[in-house]
C-alpha cells in the first residue's frame, strides 16, 4: 500500500478492517485502532472480528454473518456493537469477501460505521412512540370514565360508573368507592372484585388530613398509597366527596397502577359525586314539596272510600304536573268533591303550576258552584297563571246521601264507572276543551250519573293509558279490560293492581295519577268530623 493510500486508509471516518478467511484481523486503519483502544501489534494477526464484538454480536457473527459471507460474499448495514473502552459502540457493518491478491485464499474487507447517534435517535423515537401510546391509552381510559360519569344518575350511579371504568382503566384487581356521609366519616357505596367488608376504611392521613401516606409519582398529589392499597380522593369544588380505594394486582407480571389516570379520574369522579349529591338533595326537597302539595286529609265518612296512586314521569325528581284531591267543597255537608288534573309539562315547573291550580280548585268550589261553573271559573284563573294554561281537569261532586255524581271534564280522560253489578263503561258526557283553550269564556257543560251502593268511579291521567306506539283509544280499551278484571278487593289493592298491569311495559314517561272512589251507600253510618281517615289510601 502506497503512502498516499495508507493516508487515505487511516483518515477514513469509519473503521476499516481486512480479515482473513477465518475472521482474523490482518489489517486495521487508525480509526479502528482509536475506537478499540488497541495498538496494531495487539490487534493485527492476534484477534478475530468476533473477539471485538459483544456477546450477542459474536454469536450472530459466528452463526449467521460468517456463513453468509462465504455463501453470498456480501453483507450490508448489519447492526452490531463493538466492545470499546468505557462501554459499547453501536456500529453498522458492511463486508465484502474477495480473493487475496496472488493467492487462492479469500479475504474480507469490512467497514464499520458508527451508529451511536442513529441508535440514540431510534431510542428517542421509540420512547416518544411509547409515550404517545401511553397518552392515547390514558385518553381512551378517561373518555370511558367521562362517558360513564356523564350518564350516571345519583350517588350510587356515580359510584358504579367509577367502579366499572376507573378500576379497569388503572389496572387494579379490585376497588371500593367510599362516599362522605356528611358527618366527617365515609360510607362504602359499592365494590368490584371484593366484598365491601374486605376493604378497610381509608385512614385520615391518606386523605390529606394527616401527615402520613406516600404520594405516588405522576399523581399530582392526588393519589396516595397505604396498607398495600391505592387511595384516590374524590374531591368536589369545596370538599372531599368520597374516596376510591384500589387493590393493585399482585404477581411478577403485574404493572403499577397509572397514577395520572387515577388522579384525573378522581377529579372527574369527585365533581360527579358533588353534582349527584346536590341533585339528590334537590330531588328530596322536590319530593317533599310534591308530597305536601298532594297531601290529602279527606273527611272520615263511612259512606265512601277512596284510594290513589301517583307516579311521576321524571323519576329522579319524583314530581310532576298531575294532581288529585278529595275534599268537602266549601264545607257543604254531605257532598264530597274529587278531582284529577294534568298540567302540561313535567318536573318542577309543572309541579309549581299544579300546586297553584289545585289550590284554585279548592278556592272556587262550593257554594253551589257545581262542576261546570267551577271549570268556567278556572278558565279565568289560568289567564293569570300561564304555566297552567291548557291543563286538563276531571272534577266530580258526589252526594253521599243519594249517590248522585255530578261531573265535568275539561279536555280530560272520561271517568270510568265500575258498577257493583254490570259492565264497566266510560262516562263520555260533560266534556269540554282544556282550561284556557279559547279566549271567550262561557258556561262549561256537566253531566250526572246516579251510583248504586258499591259502585266505583275511576279518574286517571293519560300517563296511565297513553303510549307513543299506540293510540289513546287502544289504551282506553286496555283500561276498561283491566278494570273489568279487578274484582271487589279493597280500593288500595285495586288501584295497585290496575297501575301494575297497565304500567308493566315501563315505556310510559309521563306522570301517572289514579283516583278510585267507592260509594258504599247512604245508610252505612253517620259521618264524622273531618280528619285524616283510614278510608283514604295513597300509593
Q: Is residue 303 part of a domain?
A: yes
Q: Assign 524 a pLDDT band (cuts: 50, 70, 90).
A: low
Q: For position 43, which CATH number holds? A: 3.30.450.20
385 and 472, same domain (yes or no): yes
**Residues 313, 255 share a domain:** no
Q: Write out pLDDT tens, residues 72-83.
A: 889 999 999 999
In a domain, 479, yes or no: yes
Report if residue 121 sits inside a domain. Answer: no
* pLDDT tens digit sequence for 395-417: 999 999 999 999 999 999 999 99
Q: Is the dihedral of CA 180, 185, 189, 195 positive or negative?
A: positive
**Spatial distance between the Cα atoms of 251 and 198, rounded to a whole number of angstroms:** 20
Least Cα distance to 294 among 275, 270, 311, 273 occurs for 311
On whether residue 125 sits in a domain, the answer given is no
**Are residues 60 and 23 part of one domain?**
yes
CA–CA separation, 283 and 351 (whole Å): 12
Q: Does 9 map to a domain?
A: yes
Task: Tell me the C-alpha distance between 95 and 335, whole Å.
Answer: 114
274 with 318, same domain: the answer is no
Domain identity same for 323 and 448? yes
| CATH code assigned at 281 | 3.30.450.40
Q: What is the mean pLDDT of residues 463-472?
A: 85
Do 306 and 280 fall within a single domain? no
Structural domain includes residue 330: yes
Judgement on whether residues 382 and 513 belong to the same structural domain of the protein = yes
pLDDT band at 282 (very low <50, low <70, confident <90, very high): confident
**In sequence order, what are the beta bridge partners of 404?**
450
Segment 382-387 shows an average pLDDT of: 87
Residues facing residue 322 across a β-bridge? 342
Q: C-alpha 142: how far from its chain's center? A: 13
Residue 480 has which C-alpha cell? Answer: 276498561
Strands 416-418 and 456-460: antiparallel
What does the alpha-carbon distance between residue 38 and residue 42 come to, in Å, rounded to a whole number? 6
Output the domain CATH number for residue 308. 3.60.40.10
409: cell is: 271534564
376 plus 424 within the same structural domain? yes
Which of 79, 114, 149 delimits the end of a domain? 114
Domain assignment of residue 347, yes or no:
yes
Q: What is the number of alpha carbons within 13 Å of residue 69 lying toward its C-beta?
A: 26
- In the prediction, which pLDDT does 401 show? 93
My answer on whether 89 and 222 are in the same domain is: no
**Domain termination site, one of 52, 79, 114:** 114
Q: What is the pLDDT of residues 23-55, one digit of tens each?
A: 899 999 999 999 999 999 989 989 999 999 999
Pairing of strands 431-432, 404-410: parallel
Is residue 462 included in any domain, yes or no? yes
Mean pLDDT across the chain? 83
Domain that holds residue 40: 3-114
| pLDDT bracket for residue 440 (50, 70, 90) | low
Q: Are residues 426 and 308 in the same domain?
A: yes
Note whether 278 and 310 are same-domain residues. Answer: no
Return the closest-CA partner of residue 409 out of 438, 384, 374, 440: 374
Q: Same domain for 499 and 386?
A: yes
> Of 286, 316, 332, at which residue does a domain stop?
286
The count of structural domains within the chain is 3
Q: Under a CB-based contact definition with an 8 Å cutoff, are residues 527 and 502 in contact?
A: no
Task: Assess contact for 486 and 438: CB atoms under 8 A.
Answer: no
Per-residue pLDDT, 484: 92
Amino acid at each position: 500500500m502506497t503512502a498516499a493510500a495508507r493516508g487515505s486508509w487511516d483518515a477514513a471516518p469509519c473503521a476499516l478492517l481486512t480479515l482473513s478467511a477465518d475472521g482474523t484481523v490482518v489489517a486495521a486503519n487508525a480509526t479502528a485502532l482509536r475506537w478499540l483502544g488497541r495498538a496494531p501489534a495487539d490487534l493485527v494477526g492476534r484477534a478475530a472480528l468476533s473477539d471485538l464484538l459483544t456477546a450477542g454480536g459474536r454469536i450472530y457473527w459466528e452463526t449467521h454473518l460468517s456463513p453468509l459471507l462465504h455463501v453470498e460474499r456480501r453483507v450490508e448495514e448489519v447492526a452490531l456493537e463493538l466492545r470499546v473502552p468505557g462501554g459499547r459502540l453501536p456500529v453498522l457493518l458492511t463486508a465484502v469477501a474477495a480473493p487475496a491478491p496472488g493467492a487462492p485464499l479469500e479475504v474480507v474487507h469490512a467497514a464499520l460505521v458508527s451508529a451511536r447517534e442513529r441508535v440514540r435517535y431510534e431510542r428517542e423515537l421509540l420512547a416518544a412512540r411509547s409515550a404517545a401510546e401511553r397518552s392515547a391509552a390514558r385518553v381512551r381510559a378517561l373518555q370511558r370514565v367521562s362517558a360513564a360519569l356523564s350518564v350516571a344518575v345519583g350517588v350510587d350511579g356515580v359510584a358504579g360508573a367509577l367502579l366499572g371504568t376507573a378500576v379497569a382503566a388503572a389496572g387494579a384487581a379490585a376497588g371500593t368507592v367510599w362516599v362522605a356521609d356528611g358527618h366527617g366519616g365515609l360510607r362504602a357505596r359499592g365494590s368490584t372484585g371484593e366484598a365491601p367488608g374486605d376493604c378497610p376504611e381509608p385512614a385520615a392521613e391518606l386523605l390529606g388530613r394527616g401527615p402520613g401516606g406516600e404520594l405516588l409519582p405522576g399523581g399530582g398529589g392526588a393519589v396516595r398509597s397505604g396498607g398495600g392499597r391505592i387511595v384516590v380522593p374524590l374531591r368536589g369544588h369545596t370538599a372531599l366527596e368520597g374516596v376510591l380505594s384500589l387493590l393493585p394486582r399482585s404477581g411478577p407480571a403485574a404493572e403499577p397502577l397509572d397514577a395520572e389516570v387515577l388522579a384525573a379520574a378522581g377529579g372527574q369522579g369527585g365533581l360527579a359525586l358533588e353534582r349527584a349529591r346536590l341533585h339528590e338533595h334537590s330531588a328530596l326537597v322536590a319530593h317533599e314539596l310534591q308530597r305536601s302539595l298532594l297531601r290529602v286529609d279527606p273527611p272520615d265518612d263511612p259512606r265512601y272510600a277512596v284510594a290513589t296512586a301517583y307516579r311521576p314521569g321524571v323519576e329522579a325528581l319524583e314530581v310532576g304536573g298531575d294532581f288529585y284531591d278529595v275534599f268537602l267543597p266549601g264545607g257543604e255537608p254531605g257532598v264530597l268533591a274529587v278531582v284529577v288534573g294534568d298540567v302540561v309539562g313535567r318536573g318542577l315547573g309543572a309541579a309549581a303550576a299544579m300546586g297553584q291550580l289545585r289550590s284554585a280548585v279548592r278556592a272556587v268550589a262550593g257554594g253551589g258552584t257545581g262542576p261546570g261553573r267551577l271549570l268556567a271559573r278556572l278558565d279565568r284563573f289560568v289567564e293569570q297563571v300561564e304555566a297552567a294554561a291548557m291543563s286538563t281537569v276531571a272534577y266530580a261532586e258526589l252526594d253521599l246521601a243519594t249517590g248522585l255524581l255530578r261531573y265535568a271534564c275539561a279536555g280530560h280522560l272520561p271517568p270510568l264507572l265500575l258498577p257493583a253489578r254490570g259492565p264497566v263503561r266510560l262516562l263520555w258526557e260533560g266534556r269540554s276543551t282544556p282550561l284556557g283553550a279559547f279566549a271567550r269564556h262561557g258556561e262549561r257543560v256537566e253531566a250526572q250519573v246516579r251510583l248504586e251502593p258499591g259502585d266505583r268511579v275511576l279518574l286517571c291521567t293519560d300517563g296511565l293509558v297513553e303510549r307513543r306506539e299506540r293510540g289513546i283509544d287502544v289504551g282506553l280499551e286496555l283500561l276498561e279490560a283491566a278494570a273489568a278484571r279487578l274484582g271487589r278487593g279493597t280500593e288500595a289493592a285495586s288501584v295497585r293492581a290496575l297501575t301494575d298491569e297497565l304500567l308493566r311495559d315501563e315505556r310510559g314517561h309521563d306522570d301517572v295519577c289514579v283516583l278510585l272512589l267507592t260509594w258504599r251507600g247512604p245508610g252505612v253510618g253517620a259521618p264524622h268530623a273531618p280528619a285524616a281517615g283510614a278510608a283514604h289510601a295513597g300509593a
